Amino acid sequence: MPPREIRNMDEFAAVSGISRPTVSKYFHNPDSVRQSTRARIEAAIEQYDYRPNIFAMNQNRKLTKNVGIVVPLLADPYFAEIARNLEQRCIVAGYSPTLFSAHGDPEQEVAVLNNLRALKPAGVLLAPLGRASDTDVLAKFCEDVPTLIFDSSVAELGIAFVGSDNQQFTAHITDYLCRTGEPPCFFEMKNPANPNAHRRRHAYLAAMEKFGHSPHVISVAGEGWGFEEIGRVGGHDAFARNLFPTNTILCSNDRLAIGLLTASYERGITVGRGDGSTVRIAGQDGHPHSRYTCPPLTTISHDYDAVSKHAADTLFAAIEGNAERWQSTRIEGRLILRDSA
């Protein structure tokens, strides 16, 4: 019996047992998939005598100079800063960037992606919600539109992933705090909106074990993206219940730390690393306003410039037909020492 006729790429993916996004990557650039996967695809091509309609593929690819930039919440200072960097790089490279915010809502994220299709973008720089994202929708979008995933990785979707090294972030600042005072406890949201929070907690636990200290995690109630108020209310509760076992507190992110600083002030608790201070408080992210808290916040900062440059350059190369095999690039953070710790 002759092999069945394969009418489109969806059917070819089904009979070959390889995901549709991976098959699509191969036909756009065979070197962008693993050698073993490439061998399986080419064996299936031979078996089923399948040839994609290259003309249709090229017609479906966007020929505009539009680039979409999508973040979970544009009001978040970290995402605003990284989006600003990406926007400038797009403009310098001759593209027309458009910013979108998912407003922390999975349905809004899907709506944004649908709206982007109407723009026929040359490519998209996407920071997904993460666990809350509809991965099927993301996968189909990444299959149809050259998309660079940044900040929070979701499987091996898109051209590549570029973000910060959260493992290094937390391990590095935990090491500093252990060497300069009492080992830190970890202050976090019980149900964090950003999936990087989970990675940082795991990194804290591993670092404390490595350094020979007992970890202590204080998880406070609160959902959504109002981190400062969650940190303030949770901080009041934790101080009232004596939940902090040491005088050093490492917060999951700078916005929680800002809320905790406020709670400390409201309770008359002195924050700092000098004599007479009651607690040390540190954060993570390099929040653009962390220099202006009182006292100024010790943090470990994203390398905004390096992350945005690598992300933008990788997308532009793919748009120009120079996509490489999918890879994850995680860039180390920089410790910034200030008076809070």
pLDDT tens per residue across span 195-216: 789 999 999 999 999 999 999 9
Residues 6 and 124: beta-carbon distance below 8 Å: no
125-144 per-position pLDDT tens digit: 999 988 888 889 999 999 88
pLDDT at 305: 94
- In this structure, the answer to whether residues 283 and 183 fall within a common structural domain is yes
Residues 157 and 264 placed together within one structural domain of the fold: no
| pLDDT band of 186, cuts 50, 70, 90 | very high
Residues 139 and 111 in one domain: yes
Amino acid 167: pLDDT: 93
Statement to judge: residues 31 and 96 lie in one domain: no
Residue 59 has pLDDT above 50, yes or no: no
Q: Does 61 reside within a domain? A: no
Distance CA 237, CA 245 (A): 14
The enclosing domain of 181 has a CATH number of 3.40.50.2300
Residue 130 φ/ψ, nearest 5 degrees: 100, -125
Mean pLDDT of the chain: 90
Number of domains in the chain: 3
Count of CB atoms situated within 10 Å of the CB of 336: 17
Region 15-38 average pLDDT? 81
pLDDT recorded at residue 256? 97
Mean pLDDT along residues 223-239? 95
Give Cα separations from 80 to 95, 101, 319 (angstroms): 19, 10, 24
Residue 54: is it exposed, middle or buried by C-beta count within 10 angstroms (0-12/13-18/19+)? exposed
Residue 1 — pLDDT band, cuts 50, 70, 90?
Answer: very low
Across 244-255, average pLDDT: 97
The pLDDT score that the predictor gives to residue 323 is: 76
Residue 3 lies in a domain: no
Query: Which range among 211-215, 274-278, 332-336 shows the weakest confidence by mean pLDDT?
Result: 274-278
Report the distance separating Cα 192 and Cα 313, nearest Å. Answer: 31
Helix (H) or strand (E) holding 87: helix 77-92
pTM: 0.78
Range of the domain at 210: 166-301
Q: With 70 as the cut, is the pLDDT of residue 54 above it?
A: no
Tell me if 148 sits within 8 A of 276, measured CB to CB.
no
The answer on 94 and 72 residing in a single domain is: yes
Please name the residue that has the structure tokens 């040359």. Answer: 122
Q: Residue 275 pLDDT more than 90? A: no
Q: Are 77 and 157 contained in the same domain?
A: yes
Rounded Cα gap, residues 188 and 259, in angstroms: 12
* Residue of 218, 255, 249 whose CA lies nearest to 234: 218
Residue 62: per-residue pLDDT: 44
- The predicted structure's pLDDT at residue 50: 80
Domain co-membership, 146 together with 178: no
Percentage of the residues of the chain whose pLDDT score is greater than 90: 67
204 inside domain: yes
User: What is the structure's pLDDT at 4?
Assistant: 64
C-alpha span between 330 and 206 (Å, rounded): 18
- Report the pLDDT value the prediction gives residue 214, as an integer from 0 to 100: 96
Q: What is the C-alpha separation between 323 and 159, in angstroms, rounded?
A: 7
Say if 2 falls within a structural domain. no
User: 52: buried, middle or exposed (CB in 10 Å: 19+, 13-18, 0-12)?
Assistant: middle
Select the more confidently predicted residue: 170 or 15: 170
Considering the domain architecture, whether residues 295 and 315 belong to the same structural domain is answered as: no
